[in-house]
Structure 1
Amino acid sequence: MAMDNKTVRDAIQIHGTDPQFLIEKILRKRIYECHYWKEHCFGLTESTILEKAYTLTYIGGQYGVQKPTDFICLVLKLLQLQPREEIVIKYITGLSESDNNK
């Protein structure tokens, strides 16, 4: 499963390093070990990650005894996938449109 913990090959480096390193090492380790990461984030793609984001009921980083939230797991996955700018804009406009329709 370590293969799923790698950033896509053609990712743009942030501050000269892997984008995943924007999240502290200890939190990344906890994310890689948590149930949500192993069960729900494995194999997500640019197009399927949005489906998982729609199921979120809260946002945050950690809870309880430093357990990572589903939200921070998806943030790490987005850093790994590093979707193209057009896709991110579609994510944002799609979410805005769905909020307006409620």
Structure 2
Amino acid sequence: TPEKVNFLETHARGLICAPITQERAEELDLPMMVTNNTSVHATPFTVSVDLLTHGCTTGISAYDRAQTILALTRHDTAPEDFGRPGHVFPLRAMNKGVLRRAGHTEATVDFARL
């Protein structure tokens, strides 16, 4: 919800990320942000996105980011529904979750599957 995104912006700070499965990233044609990830934790960023529909405007508002995150989970969302780059940063979880990579991305996807 916009309220939850606003809470994240106010209290957590930093980037708004949205962990997704490898399969979902492929369905939405979300390539990795870089081909050679040299970050300390190898955080698996895809290209960032903004939803172009559902009343979204600039992509930066709490409403726009909440709608973008929801769209990443909806089965009727297509790759062309997103503008790139954007203000939401999908993270591509490894298959087999934390058994493959002990990261917050995989832990979040594993937890969501429960």
Q: Same fold (TM over 0.5)?
A: no
Structure with bigger strand share is: 2
Output the TM-score relative to the length of structure 2.
0.29
Which protein has the bigger helix share? 1
